[in-house]
Amino acid sequence: MIRFENVSVTYDGHTEPTVRDIDLDIPEGELVLLVGPSGVGKSTVLGAVSGLVPHFTGGTLRGRVTVAGRDTRTHKPRELADVVGTVGQDPLSHFVTDTVEDELAYGMESLGLAPEVMRRRVEETLDLLGLADLRDRPIATLSGGQQQRVAIGSVLTPHPQVLILDEPTSALDPAAAEEVLAVLQRLVHDLGTTVLMAEHRLERVIQYADQVALLPSPGASPVLGTPAEVMAISPVTPPVVDLGRLAGWTPLPLTVRDARRRAGALREQLETRSLGAEKGRGAVLDLRLPPRGRDQPQTTRTRRRWFSRTPQPAPQSPHTAEVKDLTVTRAQIRALHHVTLTIAPGETIALMGRNGAGKSTLLNSLVGLITPTDGTVQAGGRTPHRTPPPDLIRHVGLVPQEPLDLLYADTVAAECTAADTDADAPPGTCRDLVTQLLPGVADDTHPRDLSEGQRLALALAVVLTARPPLLLLDEPTRGLDYAAKARLVTVLRDLAAEGHAIVLATHDVELAAELADRVVLLAEGEVIADGPTAEVVVSSPSFAPQITKILAPQHWLTVAQVKQALA
């Protein structure tokens, strides 16, 4: 159904091809997962199928890509629209209409489907993707995850033979991600739809894949095989596979269920190693990194420091930020309701909860982009929405869900120079941070042409240049591979050790397990849980990481903890 014959893509201004000599044959009715490190060319491969590469991106495509027999070099994306449905990494750039229902119908209208068919499919899709309550909503008022669901729904309604999805679950909460993947699997099984999907969070998707195509490194040929075959050699692997490797299990488990069946001996071993732990529980609290609260002596940290200067302390309050009784109503929609929260220096908080729960609204309130309807917000002793941005960036910085919202310059180098100037930081500060986060980002690249992961690294570096004592990150692992995520974790831990408070809104349960001291769970705009990570995630099946599920009833969170216990 999809065939690549000796395909190379060279973007304008690049001397070397981004992807090289790709031969790939994807049969009809299969769900194939495209995996590989950040920036390796996954979006480029997907774009070559939908025709966006090279028709919209520019550059040169050599070789031949055919979809359902049509050559994508001679057929523009418009001429493939009856066969291929595409969801890219940025749903907002897709939308052509203003409301949810219109958007779901749009693709079918362009194909001239009968009104009664359109009506039925819109209703089906609203139900399948949990969008019925939002049907009349303007798209601009939806949360990131709600928009991603609409974007997926809008390509499903015309029932294309081929679906091309670039990180379709990146903004979805864990339960919504499962729902969307189950819908895709049903299309594959019942309608014979062919799905090619790139996704970094393998823990969410690997069990749905018939085959996995791995791009191991830039310019290398793809390796196609069963999920188990590819995971055995892949540089990117989910926690369940990492645990399998650590425990020496063959074949490697791909699902929590597989791993639980094998985990008996490991659990026993861990039980005996977790000295002092009460029976039936692991030593998770003992083994976690020492709490990074403000009482921790900073001298215990030996890791290299990221910044030569220490962050400015909050002037009056012992807290970095305080939210009291905050209510935010936006266009008659109650986004937050009586939220009270204090954030201490050195603390890392994961803000979790379903799509639309109010996470971004809370972060935006802390950075002054939203004015409270009721209640108060203080950050660094200031009231954010009344503080001029040049002053505020030294107290609180937000890396938004869409990093491009923060980037204005034409090149990476110009963006970094501007960030150094705005923050009054030594020249080169921002550029060094970009390199540390994601090596290999070229100075003269336009931020728009960076891969998703590279853009995030740049936006994070821009914000960190001002060394704000309060750092806010909205869904920071979108587009990041496991290695980039590990580097992000290191950076954030170092910042926390220096006294920066960090709040991440995230659906990435593995990241929360790895990094957060504390989890605040929001539901429909209210705080429904606030406590130590181990307690909050372990008691919630949706938000528990893979290792917790595999080793329950013991309370382990990450492979690193298990490794440390076995050492």
Ligand X SMILES: Nc1ncnc2c1ncn2[C@@H]1O[C@H](COP(=O)(O)OP(=O)(O)OP(=O)(O)O)[C@@H](O)[C@H]1O
- The yes or no reply on residue 244 touching ligand X (CB under 6 A) is no
DSSP label of 151 = H
Structure tokens at 315: 């002037």
DSSP label of 448 = G
- The yes or no reply on residue 331 touching ligand X (CB under 6 A) is yes
Chain centroid, CA 239 distance in Å: 16
Q: What is the DSSP string of 382-401?
A: B-GGGS-HHHHTTTEEEE-S
- The yes or no reply on residue 261 touching ligand X (CB under 6 A) is no
Which of 1, 43, 420, 559 is close enough to bind ligand X by CB under 6 A?
43
Contact 325, 526 (CB under 8 A): no
CB of 537 to ligand X, least distance (A): 17
- The yes or no reply on residue 179 touching ligand X (CB under 6 A) is no
- The yes or no reply on residue 451 touching ligand X (CB under 6 A) is yes
User: What's the full length of the chain, in residues?
Assistant: 567
> Between 114 and 331, whose beta carbon lies closer to ligand X?
331
Close Cβ partners of 350 (under 8 Å, ≥ 6 residues apart): 504, 506, 511, 512, 515, 516, 518, 519, 520, 533
Tally of CB atoms within 10 A around 520? 23
Largest CA distance in the chain: 70
- The yes or no reply on residue 18 touching ligand X (CB under 6 A) is yes
Which of 101, 420, 449, 510 is close enough to bind ligand X by CB under 6 A?
449
Angle CA 410–412–414, to nearest 5: 65
Q: What are the strands of the beta sheet with 396-399, ordered from one edge?
A: 396-399, 470-474, 501-505, 348-352, 518-523, 526-532
> Between 48 and 266, whose beta carbon lies closer to ligand X?
48
Which of 32, 40, 61, 81 is close enough to bind ligand X by CB under 6 A?
40
Secondary structure of residue 452 in the 3-state scheme: helix
Nearest residue to 440 via CA among 415, 467, 412? 412
Which of 160, 372, 468, 479 is close enough to bind ligand X by CB under 6 A?
479
Contact 456, 487 (CB under 8 A): no
> Between 350 and 466, whose beta carbon lies closer to ligand X?
350
CB of 566 to ligand X, least distance (A): 32
> Between 9 and 259, whose beta carbon lies closer to ligand X?
9
Which of 237, 355, 365, 465 is close enough to bind ligand X by CB under 6 A?
355
Which of 8, 66, 141, 255 is close enough to bind ligand X by CB under 6 A?
141
Q: Residue of minimal CB distance from ligand X?
A: 145
Q: Binding residues for ligand X, how many (CB under 6 A)?
A: 40
- The yes or no reply on residue 506 touching ligand X (CB under 6 A) is no
- The yes or no reply on residue 174 touching ligand X (CB under 6 A) is no
CB of 133 to ligand X, least distance (A): 9
- The yes or no reply on residue 136 touching ligand X (CB under 6 A) is no
Which of 320, 361, 365, 533 is close enough to bind ligand X by CB under 6 A?
361
- The yes or no reply on residue 400 touching ligand X (CB under 6 A) is no
- The yes or no reply on residue 452 touching ligand X (CB under 6 A) is yes
Structure tokens at 256: 């929590």
Pick the piece of the chain touching ligand X (CB under 6 A) from 119-127, 252-260, 354-362, 404-412: 354-362
- The yes or no reply on residue 447 touching ligand X (CB under 6 A) is no
Q: Residues 152-171 vs ligand X: string with x where CB under 6 A?
A: -------------------x
- The yes or no reply on residue 402 touching ligand X (CB under 6 A) is no
Which of 158, 358, 368, 400 is close enough to bind ligand X by CB under 6 A?
358
Peptide bond into 54 cis (omega under 30): yes
Close Cβ partners of 117 (under 8 Å, ≥ 6 residues apart): 108
Q: What are the strands, taking DSSP E only, across 445-525? A: 470-474, 501-505, 518-523
Q: Which residues bind ligand X (CB under 6 A)?
A: 11, 18, 36, 38-44, 57, 141-146, 171, 173, 330-331, 333, 335, 353, 355-361, 445, 449-454, 479, 505
